[in-house]
Amino acid sequence: MIDFVNVTKKYSRTTAINRMTLTISENGIYCLLGKNGAGKTTFMKLLAGYIGATEGEIAVNGQSVTPSHMPKSVNFIESNSEQFNMRVSDLIESAAALQEDFDKDFAWEMIERFDLKPGKKYKQLSFGMKTMLSTILTLANNSKIILLDEPTLGFDAIMRDQFNTLLLESYQAQPRIIIVSTHMIDEIAKITEQLIIINNGKILLKTGIEDIDEHAYTLTGPEKVISPLIKELNCIGKTSVGSMMAAHIYGDRIAPPSGVSLDRLTLQDFFIQIVGGIDHE
Amino acid sequence: MNKSVIEVNRLNLQNIKIPYLITGTIFLVMLAQDVVKALTAHNSGNMVEQSLISIGNLLWLLIPLAAIFVATKNFRRLINLGCRRGNFFAGSLTTYFILAVVISLANTLIFYTYDRFINSTGYFYGVINCLEVFGWSVNGPVIACIQQFAFLFLVATVTHILALMQDNWVGWVVDLIIIAVIIVFTPIAFFNLIIFQSNAFLQIISCLTLAVGLYALSYPALSRKKI
């Protein structure tokens, strides 16, 4: 179980995390969304004990988390993490020797699945392959909490699809808390169950993906019909073109009046509207 | 010793290629220079009017270079492989122990073979080796080797601590200032204790106690180090 209570993290004059309070108690794949600089990486580093909070309390399973008390149950990897320039096979063996709960069979299975050449040295791998290897090394650890920061950076569409499969299989093999920060929103939506949106160092939203499916929608129609209609609704953004308007809503669905269409809002559009929602004329 | 600690040590020894390269290159260049000078003196029949610095002393360079690399480069990579800080702490100390033993043995061997051979040729004024300069060689090869090991072990741990505690270039400047202050203001008695001490046992114990003590005291800094 993860507990953030009024956590603030400042870098000199910049506040990366601002009085964040969050509890995650259930296993699942959590998608962490936020603009660049929203505080996603800082959030993960704080949770892993890589850095310390300026204020507030962070706990994992009731144990306080600080750089001097890095939780054993948390495993974190960044997309551009440095590794020794060793053969892939040697890195697997070293990780197995260094980590208490390393599942070597799973790691080897994934290495074969993703066609990572065991004899190749780390620096000979493409950027995407390096990221994939680091992700496999992390997922192969049987930690109860896995943090993946931008794990699909540098992946092509096929690799992203393979990665999603890897993540899902890893989760099915061992249900736990997996938090993935990514910008590939709609792709991760296929496998994730929970959504956490960070904005300006604060939790903007924590909800289930099905909640977004159910409550996020767009009303499109004449502006003179839409404008009065949305006064009573939670409008998170709107776009006007001529006399027509598209209003993005997050709330209970309504029965649209005649001349107005109601369409489901994709996760990516929902994210764009809720984080950077502005009026477009 | 658990397998994580052994693995940290193995990875450290395997991943200090630049220190190996720098030390090895300097060693070979100086060796070649010695050979060329000796051959020139042999052919001309004239003595080279200078003393040589023993190539064995050049191996000492590996100790601080390795400590800097372990603390700055290997630390992060080991953590990324899932290493715990405690295992890095123990594993790195083992690395320094092994490096100090190997370098001490190598320099002692060079002192009693290569340096003596060079001296016997009569082509140079002499060969300067710290084993002799620091007065360790008067205690015989075994004790001298242990004295050298203890001193190098201390150098490794102090360098490791200074490197580990710094997260950016400002830290290195602070380190240099601290080193300068130590050199200028530390009483000569301190250097007498860890280097020039005539009682070999006291010198060895002082160096080892300081090395292990300082290293242990640095653990809180390691445990708070940002990644």
CA distances from A114 to A81, A83, A107, A128, A139 (A): 19, 19, 11, 11, 14
**Do A155 and A118 touch, CB atoms closer than 8 A?**
no
> Quick one: average pLDDT of A132-161?
87
pLDDT of A115 above 60: yes
Given an 8 Å threshold on Cβ–Cβ distance, is A97 in contact with B4? yes
Q: Tell me whether A102 touches chain B (CB under 8 Å).
A: yes
CA distances from B101 to B6, B23, B94, B97, B149 (A): 17, 16, 11, 6, 6
Each residue's pLDDT tens digit, A231-279: 888 888 888 888 899 999 998 888 888 888 999 888 888 888 888 755 5
Domain ranges of chain B: 3-224
Each residue's pLDDT tens digit, B90-107: 999 999 999 999 999 999
CA distances from B155 to A80, B61, B62 (A): 33, 10, 11
- Which of A69, A70, A84, A85 has the highest number of chain B CBs within 10 A, making it the mutation to test binding with B? A84
Which residue bears the tokens 């992060």? B76
pLDDT reported for residue B52: 86
Q: Please tell me the class of the A2-200 domain.
A: alpha beta
**Dihedral (CA of A158, A159, A164, A168) sign:** positive
CA–CA min distance B26, chain A (Å) = 24
Model confidence, pTM: 0.83
Tokens standing for residue A42: 């800082």
* Closest CA in chain B for residue A44: B227
pLDDT of B171 above 80: no
- The DSSP call for residue B49 is S
pLDDT reported for residue B58: 95
pLDDT reported for residue A131: 87
Average predicted confidence (pLDDT) for chain A: 88
Widest pairwise Cα distance in chain B: 63
pLDDT reported for residue A281: 43
Each residue's pLDDT tens digit, A151-197: 887 788 888 888 888 888 889 888 999 999 988 887 888 888 899 99
Residue A108's pLDDT band, with cuts at 50, 70 and 90, is: very high
Average predicted confidence (pLDDT) for chain B: 88
* Phi, psi dihedrals of residue A207, rounded to the nearest 5°: -155, 175
pLDDT reported for residue B60: 96
pLDDT of A209 above 50: yes
Q: Model ipTM?
A: 0.83
CA angle at B155 for the pair B150 and B160, rounded to the nearest 5°: 125
User: How deeply is A250 buried, as exposed, middle or buried, from its count of CB atoms within 10 A (0-12, 13-18, 19+)?
Assistant: buried
Residue A280's pLDDT band, with cuts at 50, 70 and 90, is: very low
Each residue's pLDDT tens digit, A66-98: 888 888 889 998 877 889 999 999 999 999 999
Cα B33 to Cα B26: distance, rounded to the nearest angstrom? 10
When mean pLDDT is compared across A8-17, A135-144, B96-105, B158-167, the lowest value belongs to: B158-167
List CB contacts (< 8 A) between B8 and chain A.
Answer: 98
Residues of B with CB under 8 A from a CB of A: 3-4, 6-8, 11, 14-15, 74, 76-78, 80-85, 87, 220, 223-227
